[in-house]
Amino acid sequence: MARRSWRNFDYLLLTALLALSAYGVVMIYSATIDTLGLGNPVQRQVIYVAIGTVVLLVVASIDYRLLDLLQQPLAILSPIVLAALEVGLIVTWRFGQLGDAVMDPEGEVIFRLTDLGPVLPAMIAGAVLVAAVYLLDRNWVPTLDLPLQRLATSAALLLGVGLVYIGLRRQMGEDLLGLAPYLIAGGGAVLYLLDALTLRFTDVLRNVAYVIILALLGIIFVVGQVSGGSQRWLGAGAIQPSELSKIVIVVVLAKFLADREDRMERLGTILSSFGVVAVPMLLIYLQPDLGTALSLAAIWVAMIWVAGLRIRFLLLLGAAGVAALPLLWFNMEDYMRERLMLFINPASDPDSYFNVHQALVSIGSGGWTGKGLTHGTQSQLHFLRVRHTDFIFAVTAEELGFLGAVAMIGLLFFLLWRMLRVAQYSRDTFGRLIAGGVAGLIFFQAMINIGMNLGVMPVTGIPLPFVSYGGSSFLTLMLGVGLVESVAMRHKKLEFD
């Protein structure tokens, strides 16, 4: 059986992947030659390629369907996570109220359990209310088997909550702020009950893998390492949960959509699937890391398309996205807005646009065959910054020319074609969605990076897959391709030996 599985291994996919990785090593060598302060990036990248290949082969050898089995729902997990979230919000509110009183001279928060005494009853009340809703969800909600019953109950619940809030507001006025911890506790329980009656998004919190990645993304805000203005690393820079979240979301969303394959014509399924992605997207965006957050959005779009998204829903989602643009704009970090304005009007800040201009000069000066490896002017004279990461495509076009750049893009598209072929011949929906999600991620990152180099996309920190220098992104994508190969190795129908 093992030999037959390895006969189904997509060796053409692996060959294209290794060729693209070798392409990247060569261009990293050219981009960093005579560059001080980088150590030996070529040696490190070769190590990443070697480790990544081992990871790919190991993951491919494991039956991807085990990931389906490992995601069996653990019902008690949902109320535990929701209760913990309420406690976290109440604690955050409490420290916000205390302000400078909990700060040491260096500006660090001093955590004392005694500071939480006044909000302890609210925290206990929140946990009790969540537990009560959990019991209702287990015993009472299933008896409401008609959609109209659930809709009427939801409306009555909202009306009751609204009346209670109005009554409290009139009676207490500004003093209502003192009840904020209890409002958080009660509001969380109400939202939990509403979800149980309608979309049932909180069912995904029964998935252990999903909860773990949310915990990793959340703990970054407490103990994460700041680098380059973003707080996204754990373990002294050894772990980047936002990169790992890409593959975890592919697997979790594949399970979510596969279990609801017969309900893809329902808008509620589409909205719930977006909720699965929206929570980690928000946590990553707050680091802040817009590029990785958008990568998760691209994964969602690719996977709901593969799952059979109806055209009318696609148009509706497009309209909703356009309508949400003003809200997104006013909640962006300043540097994000500056990058978008620079993309729209490069003349507004010539100094910030300098690197994009140098990338365009590099690409335009390469001609058909380029100036030769290590002979580029913009790259070798260091006019082009971050040339071994974000702008490595510009180095390729300058030194290897149009033909060299087309060869690199050709390898990327060949890679994507092989992945889509694996998705087409997958034995089940779960495997098809995994392959489609990984392919969508690679396509999005390649499109954004190359578009950024060409000046047709805003500047982000998204690397060129398998080519740009770096360990976290490279190993994450190799893990994803390993899952695709696992699907390919088991694409045949079941046979009995």
Within 10 Å of residue 377's Cβ, how many Cβ atoms? 14
Q: How far apart are alpha carbons 473 and 471 in whole angstroms?
A: 6
Amino acid identity of residue 85, one-letter, is: L
Average pLDDT of the residues of the chain: 87
| DSSP letter, residue 261 | G
Q: How far apart are alpha carbons 247 and 56 in whole angstroms?
A: 13
* Alpha helix positions (H), 240-369: 241-259, 267-285, 290-306, 311-323, 325-330, 334-344, 354-365
Please list, in sequence order, all residues whose beta carbon lies within 8 angstroms of the beta carbon of residue 254, skipping any fewer than 6 positions away: 303, 430, 433, 434, 437
pLDDT at 115 > cutoff 80 = no
pLDDT at 496 > cutoff 50 = no
pLDDT at 102: 57
Q: How confident is the model at residue 398 (pLDDT cuts 50, 70, 90)?
A: very high
| DSSP-assigned states of every residue in 408-476 | HHHHHHHHHHHHHHHHHT-SSHHHHHHHHHHHHHHHHHHHHHHHHHHTSS---SPPPTTTSS-SHHHHH
Are 95 and 116 within 8 A, CB to CB? no
Q: How far apart are alpha carbons 82 and 189 in whole angstroms?
A: 9
- Give mean pLDDT, residues 454-481: 91
Are 60 and 485 within 8 A, CB to CB? yes
User: 122-125: long-range contacts at Cβ-Cβ below 8 A with a sequence spacing of 24 or more?
Assistant: 122/90, 122/181, 122/182, 122/184, 122/185, 123/86, 123/87, 123/90, 123/91, 123/181, 123/185, 125/182, 125/185, 125/186
pLDDT at 494 > cutoff 50 = no
Which tokens go with 119?
């909000």
pLDDT at 248 > cutoff 90 = yes
- For the stretch 7-43, pLDDT in tens is 889 999 999 999 999 999 999 999 888 777 777 889 9
Length of the chain: 497
- For the stretch 433-454, pLDDT in tens is 999 999 999 999 999 999 999 9
Are 483 and 247 within 8 A, CB to CB? yes
Amino acid identity of residue 206, one-letter, is: R
| DSSP letter, residue 203 | G
210-226 per-residue burial string, b: 16 or more CB within 10 A, e: under 16: bbebbebbbebeeebbe
Within 10 Å of residue 367's Cβ, how many Cβ atoms? 12
**Of 323 and 139, which is predicted with more confidence?**
139
- Give mean pLDDT, residues 239-268: 90
Average the pLDDT over each of 11-15, 102-106, 165-169, 246-250 and give the range with the smallest value.
102-106
pLDDT at 145: 81
Are 56 and 482 within 8 A, CB to CB? yes
**Of 146 and 299, which is predicted with more confidence?**
299
Q: How far apart are alpha carbons 233 and 239 in whole angstroms?
A: 6
Are 411 and 16 within 8 A, CB to CB? yes
Q: How far apart are alpha carbons 230 and 245 in whole angstroms?
A: 16
How far from the centroid of its chain's Cα atoms is residue 291's Cα?
9
| Residue corresponding to tokens 């088991």 | 490
pLDDT at 333 > cutoff 80 = no
- For the stretch 366-386, pLDDT in tens is 899 989 888 888 888 888 888
pLDDT at 135 > cutoff 50 = yes
pLDDT at 313: 81
- Give mean pLDDT, residues 194-221: 90
pLDDT at 101: 59
- For the stretch 40-71, pLDDT in tens is 889 999 999 999 999 999 999 999 999 988 88
Question: To which H or E segment does residue 232 belong?
Answer: strand 230-233
pLDDT at 458: 87
Are 395 and 30 within 8 A, CB to CB? yes
Are 6 and 490 within 8 A, CB to CB? no
Question: To which H or E segment does residue 18 belong?
Answer: helix 11-32
Q: How confident is the model at residue 236 (pLDDT cuts 50, 70, 90)?
A: low
The two beta strands, 230-233 and 225-227, are antiparallel
pTM, two decimals, is 0.89
**Of 428 and 331, which is predicted with more confidence?**
428
pLDDT at 486: 95
- For the stretch 148-176, pLDDT in tens is 888 999 999 999 999 988 888 888 877 77
